[in-house]
Structure 1
Amino acid sequence: MERYELATLSTTMGAAAKLGARLRDFCAADGARGRLLGAWASDIGPLNRVLVLRGFDTAADAAAERGRTLASADPFGAGEFLTGLSLDTLAPFPGLPPVEPGAFGPIYEIRSYVLKTGGLAPTLEGWAEALPGRTKLSKLLLATHAVDGPPRIVHIWPYASLEERARLRAESVRVGVWPPRSAVWLTPAMESTIGLPLDVSPLT
């Protein structure tokens, strides 16, 4: 896949449980581009948010679908529940396999880091160097960089439980395979959300 989109839907309380079929239908409607890959309700981090991951074969398809979403009076079928909507268009790190549906969770951690100016190239290099060791410990679902807005990276890691997450993250530091040496290019602007799959999510 050439592009991904991570949509963040800020919603009224309790909306996530009502959005499954509506969200799926919006992503599968006539004229829609791309493929629904994941949909999560935030459980730890900023609450009352639904995060939707879609994949696109081309940058043109991603741009067209962003236009359709922004023009919609009912984006993701969530119009009556929305208090905010942001769309991040993302390019995958080189050499990583495309995201495919599967049961890898049910805990998904979505992390985003803003980079210092000039930090993208060394970040890509540092991750390429460090990922073979890190992914021996646990699966990386996705690593991307934003193609618009502030220079930043977005990555998603699935875990079987919060306890497994804590254990594997500590182990990666203990054995020295993480963080990558390019971490010096990160700013303090970092966010992490633990998401739980909605019933329509192809990633569970």
Structure 2
Amino acid sequence: MPIYELATLSTAIGAAPQAASAITAWCGDSGAKGRLLGLWGTDLGALNQVLVLRSFASPEELHAERQRTQASTSPFGGGAWLTAMAQDTYTPLPWLPPVEPGSFGPVYEVRTYVVKPQGLPPLIESWRNQLPGRLELSKLLVAMHTTDGPTRFTHIWPYPSTNDRAATRAGAIKRGTWPPKGGPDNLTGDMRSWICLPLPGSPLT
């Protein structure tokens, strides 16, 4: 099972195009570990942020890359534009296929919830029961939970457009397919969502 890192990079205003080339170079460096999957700029939600999704084959590989980042004087090549950085480690739901590059968007919704203490097992079970019906309506890129810090549950959905996203979500609610029954009971109410667009060099578009 892969390990994912979702890095949230806050940038100077208007710096996303500059950041994209620097990030792809950083992730492709000869000393880098992991595999770059997604590189998105936020369009709705918190602005001036770049989200970087990478996969790692082992905890050791992730740890080595995290050390490289923390030891750098210009992590992600961001010396000129990086204003803040967070790197979160995630485990995917075990029955989901690994994330692979492809053209699935170009609109990606990234939703993150804080999970109540002891709420993760029933939340995962609710997704196991109802996700097949939801997948009849649109593709899920990944659903995953953090392995460090406060327990958060993050899922990423690609759509052809924001209008398609709205119609799909409305259809899922009308059918009773989504949200998963009992799932919201395990969340704290700290819920955030970003609409993101692929940046140049993103393997996911």
TM-score (norm 2): 0.97
Equivalence for 1:77: 77
The structural deviation recorded for 1:21 is 2.1
1:37 matched to which residue of 2?
Answer: 37
Secondary structure (helix, strand or coil) at the match of 1:67 reads helix
| Distance in 2 of aligned mates of 1:91 and 1:64 | 18
The separation in 1 between residues aligned to 2:64 and 2:174, in whole angstroms, is 45
Q: CA deviation at 1:27?
A: 0.5
Secondary structure class of the residue paired with 2:64: helix
How many angstroms apart in 1 are the aligned matches of 2:120 and 2:63?
Answer: 22
Alignment of 1:12-161 (within 5 A): 12-161=12-161
Distance, in Å, in 2 between the alignment partners of 1:203 and 1:63 is 24
Question: How many angstroms does 1:20 deviate by?
Answer: 2.2
Identity %: 54
CA distance in 2, matches of 1:60, 1:175: 44
- Structure 2 unaligned regions, length at least 5: none
Question: Which residue of the partner structure matches residue 202 of structure 2?
Answer: 201
Report the Cα offset of residue 10 of structure 1: 0.5
Deviations 1:34-67 (A, max 9, x none): 1000000100000000000001111221122111
Deviation at 1:9, TM superposition (A): 0.4
Amino acid at match of 1:75: P
Give the paired residue count: 204
Alpha-carbon contact 1:119-1:186 (below 8 Å) kept: yes
Q: Give the corresponding residue for 1:6.
A: 6
Alpha-carbon separation, structure 2, partners of 1:79 and 1:174: 48
Task: Write the deviation string for residues 56-115 of structure 1: whole angstroms up to 9, x where unpaired.
Answer: 111221122111111111111112211100001000111100000000000000110001
- Cα deviation for residue 143 of structure 1 reads 0.4
Question: 3-state SS of the aligned residue for 1:99?
Answer: coil
> 1:2·1:59 contact (CA, 8 Å) conserved in 2?
no
Paired with 1:199 and 1:107, the residues of 2 have a C-alpha distance of: 14
Structure 2 letter corresponding to 1:127: W
CA distance in 2: counterparts of 1:69 and 1:24, whole angstroms:
14
Segment of structure 1 superposing worse, 192-201 or 177-186: 177-186
Unaligned runs of 5+ in 1: none
1:64 and 1:91 mapped to 2: Cα distance?
18
Q: Report the Cα distance in structure 2 between the residues aligned to 1:170 and 1:10, rounded to whole angstroms.
A: 32
